Amino acid sequence: MNRQTLISSIFQKKSFLCVGLDTDPAKLPQPLRGHPDAVFEFNKQIIDATRDLCVAYKPNLAFYECRGADGWRDFERTVAYIGPEHFIIADAKRGDIGNTSRMYAQAFFEKTDCDAVTVAPYMGADSVSPFLGFPGKWVILLALTSNPGSADFQQAKLQQTGMPLWESVMQTAQTWGSPENLMFVVGATHAEAFARVRAIAPEHFLLVPGVGAQGGDLAAICRHGLTRDCGLLVNASRSILFASSGADFADAARAEAQKMQQEMAGLLPG
């Protein structure tokens, strides 16, 4: 999916919601326990309940890879079931030497029809550039993540410049890609940083985790994070997926997604 198609979808739906499919088998609703195809059935019902309210889905690979071949099949089937009308993010956090990154990219962009993959920047340009060599596909680079451990390295100040490492990552990475194929992860738990983020990267889309179960404030991140093109994909996972543990889980997920979509509609420019 290209940038303009994504922007059009956002303004048509009045939503910049990304639903994270962190489908933990241990947390599946009671009615699906013992179901022979429980994970995929759960994903299908969540997708059917939220299609019209979101513009993106983000399967987290950890919840599929941990189940071996069965989990990978569920991931592939989930991506196929979502289809081309939504932006699909493989939340895989890959990144390795060039030839290895190329193989990772092929897995998500050729073997499954994902639009984007999350990538770790620690190994530098040659570990990221292979992902950027696929027309119409995106890299979503980790910059300032929502977890408490982001303070360990990402927020440490560089001796040469005095700027935090995450700022250096964002500045440098813009020479690798463009707003047409490169996004950044910036956590909603760092609302105070969004003004600086936009000073560094005014046109790039941001994937924003941390709203919902992690307590991020949607209005606070939009205050400085929104652009004329929206420029945000705000992810919610657990707060939507596990809004209910009963037979009404899909209806409860829809209600939670709708609440977020309605707030987003009021925040979008124009």
Residues with catalytic roles: 93
The dihedrals phi and psi of 260, each to the nearest 5 degrees, come to: -70, -40
Main-chain dihedrals φ then ψ at residue 85, nearest 5 degrees: -80, -10
CA distance 270 to 266: 10
Of 114, 106, 111, 112, the residue nearest 130 (C-alpha): 106
At residue 199, what are phi and psi to the nearest 5 degrees? -65, -35
State both tokens at 245: 């543990």
How much of the chain is in helix, strand and coil states, percent to nearest 5?
A: 50, 20, 35
Strand, coil or helix: 164: strand
Residue of 78, 65, 69 lying closest to 39 (CA atoms): 78
**Residues 160 and 180: beta-carbon distance below 8 Å:** no
Angle subtended at Cα 222 by Cα 214 and Cα 149, rounded to the nearest 5 degrees: 35
List Cα–Cα distances, 96 to 78, 105, 107, 120, 232, in angstroms.
26, 11, 14, 9, 27
